[in-house]
Amino acid sequence: MAIDYDKLVNWKFDDVEQTYSSRDTILYALGVGLSMDPLDMDQLRFTYEEDLQALPTMGVVLASPGFFLKQPEYGVDWVKVLHGEQGFEIHKQFPAQSTVIGTTKITEIVDKGEGKGALLYSTREIYEKSTGDHLATLSSTTFCRGDGGFGGPKTGGAAPHVLPDRAPDSTVELPTLDQAALIYRLSGDYNPLHADPRIAKSAGFKAPILHGLCSLGVAGHAILKQACGYDPAKLKALRLRFSSPVYPGETIVTEMWHDGDVTSFRCRVKERDIVVLNNGYAKIS
């Protein structure tokens, strides 16, 4: 089996329509760890229906085409697929409840060579159905570990954001719940790797791991708190690399560098002192 480059890069995705309610918005925020302190009024604005606001990171779970690489016609060894990078740019703040349309396309596929895998770059545009407003552009890099050497382009893709060569300007520690993955999966990613201990062990993990996009949400919370004063309109863009899995119950320490309207960041797990999110970039208004 080999990647069918022409078919994959020219694939026309169906638009995805999704209606989400205030309940979904609250559930997403609880899934990424908001309101562990239920008396924190800054966080309560994302988890309580009165004057409810959506987290800026919530776009990553909206109007997704799902795990399309599992379809055999693409020629991808989907069992060896990993989420390598994720980013988003917000054009207009997400409503607390709405119906949105997602349009997905593959923009680039880079062949790293036999035994080195391939990188698949895709984008998703999200629009509000009733107004036509362009809400966000999402970018994703998928690492297809088992698919190098198919004869595709050898170079491409953006270079990772380089972190400043100095000590971090600030840090934020945020714990995750032991049941965080079980809550977060209710926002749409039902991969059993994040719920079933038997599946996790068969994949080489000691226990179910936290969704990568959940750890992104935790990092987004840290930036929202430290760099935005919990004002969701101030976070305009974010991108990062996934470097290591997180286990539910671990503490994520976000190290930040503040340079004008750019906050660079990386995240470590406190208990294991390992970097789990790297090369982070956030644009602050």
194 is catalytic: yes
Q: Which of 194, 220, 221, 252 is catalytic?
A: 194
Residue 241, SS3 per DSSP:
strand
Q: Using CA atoms, how far apart are residues 269 and 261, in angstroms rounded to an integer?
A: 26
189 is catalytic: yes
169 is catalytic: no
Q: Which of 87, 102, 189, 221 is catalytic?
A: 189
**Using an 8 Å Cβ cutoff, are 240 and 219 in contact?**
yes
Q: How far from the centroid of its chain's Cα atoms is residue 191's Cα? A: 15
Structure tokens given for 276: 């789990």
Q: Which of 59, 212, 217, 280 is catalytic?
A: 212
Q: Using CA atoms, how far apart are residues 176 and 236, in angstroms rounded to an integer?
A: 25
Residue 252, SS3 per DSSP:
strand
Q: Which of 3, 26, 106, 209 is catalytic?
A: 209
The HSE-up count of residue 222 (CA atoms within 13 Å, CB side) is: 31
Distances in whole angstroms, Cα of residue 86 to Cα of each of 6, 130, 240, 243, 279: 24, 27, 6, 12, 11
Structure tokens given for 26: 């609250």
Residue 80, SS3 per DSSP:
helix
209 is catalytic: yes
Q: State the catalytic residues.
A: 189, 194, 209, 212
